[in-house]
Amino acid sequence: MKLYADGALIHEVGLPDFAAMKTVVTETETEILIKGVNMGAEKIPLHILLDCGVERCFREERIDGDPDAENDFVHPDRVGIRTATCFGAGRSFVYEAEPHSVYVLTLTKKAEEGD
């Protein structure tokens, strides 16, 4: 980025380079929560490897779409949380993070053998 005053360059700054995908994982005794942001304009496959078994069905809560979108009276649902039930979770699986999205995946841990 360059800053000019009266046509003369007075300051130049490099912009930071951010990774397109950021994630964090937390867990309780019964659930694993995967929270993430895809700041990029393309889908990104998120390869998930877990150290415990989980149910194949999981909940996805996501905000995505045009980063400049706004809700209004004519289009009240352009921006909002979409909740879906997804299938295919396991100790190892791939989740496709939509472009320009914020998401939370809630996975339920399988009961341990002998419980």
| Range of the structural domain that residue 31 is part of | 17-109
CATH of the domain at 44: 2.60.40.1180
Would you say residue 86 lies in a domain?
yes
Would you say residue 11 lies in a domain?
no
- The pLDDT of residue 111: 84
Would you say residue 9 lies in a domain?
no
Q: How far apart are CA 63 and CA 74, in angstroms?
A: 19
Q: How confident is the model at residue 103 (pLDDT cuts 50, 70, 90)?
A: very high
Q: How far apart are CA 105 and CA 115, in angstroms?
A: 25
Q: What is the pLDDT of residues 24-51, one digit of tens each?
A: 999 999 999 999 999 999 999 999 999 9
Would you say residue 12 lies in a domain?
no
Helical segments of the chain, H only: none
Number of domains in the chain: 1
Q: Which of 27, 28, 95, 110 is nearest to 62 (CA)?
A: 95
Would you say residue 95 lies in a domain?
yes
Q: How confident is the model at residue 113 (pLDDT cuts 50, 70, 90)?
A: low
DSSP-assigned beta bridge partners for residue 44: 97
90: CB partners within 8 A, 6+ apart: 50, 53, 54, 56
DSSP state of 98: P
Would you say residue 64 lies in a domain?
yes
Would you say residue 4 lies in a domain?
no
- The pLDDT of residue 66: 82
Would you say residue 115 lies in a domain?
no
Mode of pairing for the β-strands spanning 2-5 and 21-27: unpaired
